Each structure stands twice: as C-alpha cells, then as structure tokens.
Amino acid sequence: MANHQLTALHSPERRELILRAAVRDGLLDPENAQLAGFLDLDAVAATVDSLHRAFPGSVEVLHAFAAKANSLVPVLARLRDLGMGCEVASPGEFAQALAAGFQPAQIVFDSPAKTRRELAQALELGVAVNVDNWQELARIDELLTTRPTRSRIGVRVNPQTGAGAIGAMSTATATSKFGIAPADDGNTERLVEAFRDRPWLTWLHCHVGSQGCPLDLMAQGVAATVALARKINSELGRRQVVGLDIGGGLPVNFADDLATSGYQEYVERLRAHAPDLFSGEFQLVTEFGRSVLAKNGFTAAYVEYTKTSGGRAIAITFAGVQVATRTVFAPDSWPIRVTAHDATGAAKHGEAVEQDVAGPACFAGDLVAEARPLPMLEPGDLVALLDTGAYYTSTPFSYNSLLEPAVHGATVAADGTVRFATLRRAQTVADLLGRTGG
C-alpha cells in the first residue's frame, strides 16, 4: 500500500471522527474515563499489508511483530490474523504470544537473559531461539543432550556498525550488551567452529537499533550479517546457515501525519547494501514493532485544571508519565504531537498560545509538551497525544499508583460509523489493591 494511502488513514479528520465517537459512547467521560488509548485497527491492517507487499514474494519471510511495542493479547491476536508472527523477549511476552494463539513456529525468543527453564520451555515447544552469548550457547548444548527439538536455533551477532541519533536505542555499537561481536578478537573463527560442531545451529540474527537509526545504517548491519553467513557456509563447505533474522527498528516519523521511511524504502536500501539477502539462499525473519503500530494510535485525556505560572499557561491533564514515559523523561529524543479538542472531541481552533501540557503525576517534570503553541485549553477540554499506538498506553508506568487506562480498538465503516472493541479494560482500584497486596 502506498504511503499516501496510509497517510489518509492517519488524517486529523479520521482521528476526530474516532474521538467524537468515543465521547458519544462514553469511552471518554470527565468523571469516569478521563484517559484512554485508541488503536485504529483499519490502519493497522493497512500497515501490515504494506509490510507484506514490500518484501519480494520469491523469498520466504516471517514478519514477527516485536511484542514489546504492544503486548496486549487482543492486539497480538489481530496481528496473528493478519499473517504476522511474534518476537518475544521475556517470559511475560512469551505467555502473551501463546495466549494470542501464535503457534510455536511463529514465535521468536530473543531475550538477552534467558534462564534454563525458559530455554527448556522454548526448545520443548519448538519456538525459534536466538542465542545471545557463548554462555547461553553452552546452556543449550547441555539441554539438547537430553531432549530433541524442532526449534530454529541461531546466534545473535553484533555487527558493530555504530550508533544512531538515540544512543539508548542503538544496539550495534562497539560495546553493545547484545549479541556476539564477530569483529572482536577470535570471535569470527570461534563462530565458524561453533557452527561446524553443531549441525542444529542454522540461523544468524542481527538488530542494529530502532528509533533514530537511519535506514542505511540498519542495512549495513544486515549486510555484515549476510557476509558472515556466507563465510560460515563457505568454510564449512555446506549450506549450514539457512536463515537470517534481520531484526526490526524501522524509524517512525513523529513530526507529522506523513508515513515516511516505509518498508518499501527499507527493502530498497537492503537491496543496495545486501543484495544477497534476496538471492533465495536464506529464509528471512523480521522483527518490526513500533513502525507497525505507532502512527495508528492516539491517547486522549481530559483537561482538569488550567493555570498560569510565571506568565506560562499550564493545562493539567490526565495524560502524563504513566502513559508517555519516554516523552516525559527524554523529551528531546521522544517528542510527540498534541492536539486540542473541545468536550465533544471536535478540534479547537483559534489563536495558538504557548502552553505546557502537564500530566497528573506528583513531580515537576511530568510534562508531555512544554511551551507548545495550541488553542487555549480550558477545563473539560480534551487533548490527544498522537502516534502513540506503540509503547505508550500499552506499556504504562505505575508512578503514583496511577491506574492503567482502557485501550480501545476502532474500525470505521464506509458510512463513517465507528465501532469499538475493548483491547484492555481500565484498571480499577480493586485491581490495584490486589496487585499491591491490599
């Protein structure tokens, strides 16, 4: 699907249609539902379709959604129905993927800290495993002496191609905690021998990073991994490495509604840097997460109070650090757009005034936007935090014991009728007390 078609699904008019319907249906209410997340399920389907279309049909590819980006079981189940697999990095994500109905062969287990029990479960079920380090490889050696497995087993390598704009999101730096670095002394030779001694070791995995990593940097990391796979196969004199997991990390445009840097552009950069990736020699796995969902969701919250301090207008809302954690703690790396709406959900118009949009948490830095030009907000208005379909409301932060908001999926019929499905119900005080031993 072309980028302009995806952009149409991210339009202000479509978001306003969903927002107004949510108010009418009581999914947003100033007394009972002051905060909620929304995911446009039609836009999700279109995005997944664009991903499938971008990769050539001549190559066997499993697009495994990175569960960390949104691990809500109904969301994972929707993605399964759209033909995706699931990449997991913790026991919780593993359980959520199974609960969403993914077959073991559709699941990839990637945690850098897998316990013996977790490895044993994955190998017993036949889940794909990417080995992070030499010690983990030795654990698998031990486990395989007592049990056979159908799992695809590979080694995660660190191509050490460098960092993108956000250091914390760059996983292919010289000293990254992830994977085995072939360029370190002796590691390439040791990897060749590891594959020679283990006929069941048949995949390589790399992941350069996510937001802030340019497409060429990502493709260079994949190219280094392809070269290593061919070296292993050449030195062993057999086609031992049959598959490459090239990770995810496609950057998302948070500046406006345009669906830029799409999957087709990434495939073009892969063809330029790593043409052998599409030779048919290798099966492929991808692990996209944020790029699948981020632009397809928004978060809505009521304005409870407004004030002025030091000449600055401030709106106190119910959306803060608990649903926009990265934005609050690292606003320069994770800025998000905010739009102003009246109590019906209709867009507010008028002169733009610089305002702080603050959350409800009890610390001064709980701001989702600082000095942001917006139509003047008033108590009872709504604000929408855009491009938050991944990580934001689906991965809440329990600061101040703020309750987890509901998350709703939306579909829009041809006549404009909006229908909602509950993806996660709102946490109650009773839920909170039960979780905290009350």
What tens digit of pLDDT does each residue of 115-164 get?
999 999 999 999 999 999 999 999 999 999 998 999 999 999 988 776 66
Q: What is the CATH number of the domain that holds 326?
A: 2.40.37.10
Q: Are residues 263 and 309 in the same domain?
A: no
Q: Are residues 175 and 277 in the same domain?
A: yes
pLDDT 10s digits, 77-128: 999 999 999 999 999 999 999 999 999 999 999 999 999 999 999 999 999 9
Q: What is the C-alpha to C-alpha distance for residues 137 and 140, in angstroms, rounded to an integer?
A: 5
Helix 41-54 vs helix 73-81: angle between axes, to the nearest 10 degrees? 50
Final residue belonging to a domain, choices 247, 269, 288 = 288
Q: Are residues 142 and 278 in the same domain?
A: yes
Q: Are residues 316 and 244 in the same domain?
A: no
**Residue at 52 is within a domain:** no
Final residue belonging to a domain, choices 243, 263, 288 = 288
Beta bridge partners of 190: none
**Residue at 68 is within a domain:** no
Low-confidence ranges of the chain (pLDDT < 70): 1-7, 162-172, 174-175, 260-261
* Number of domains the chain is built from: 2
pLDDT at 1: 47
pLDDT at 212: 74
**Residue at 178 is within a domain:** yes
Determine if residue 371 is left, alpha or beta; phi over 0 gives left, psi from -120 to 50 gives alpha, anything else beta.
left
Final residue belonging to a domain, choices 250, 266, 288 = 288
pTM exceeds 0.85 for this model = yes
Q: What is the CATH number of the domain that holds 131?
A: 3.20.20.10
Residue 71, both tokens: 């691990």
| Of the candidates 13, 49, 91, the residue with the CA atom closest to the CA atom of residue 345 | 13
Q: Are residues 212 and 120 in the same domain?
A: yes
pLDDT at 121: 96
Q: Are residues 280 and 154 in the same domain?
A: yes
411 is in which domain, residue-wise?
3-40+294-435
**Residue at 97 is within a domain:** no
Q: Are residues 283 and 311 in the same domain?
A: no
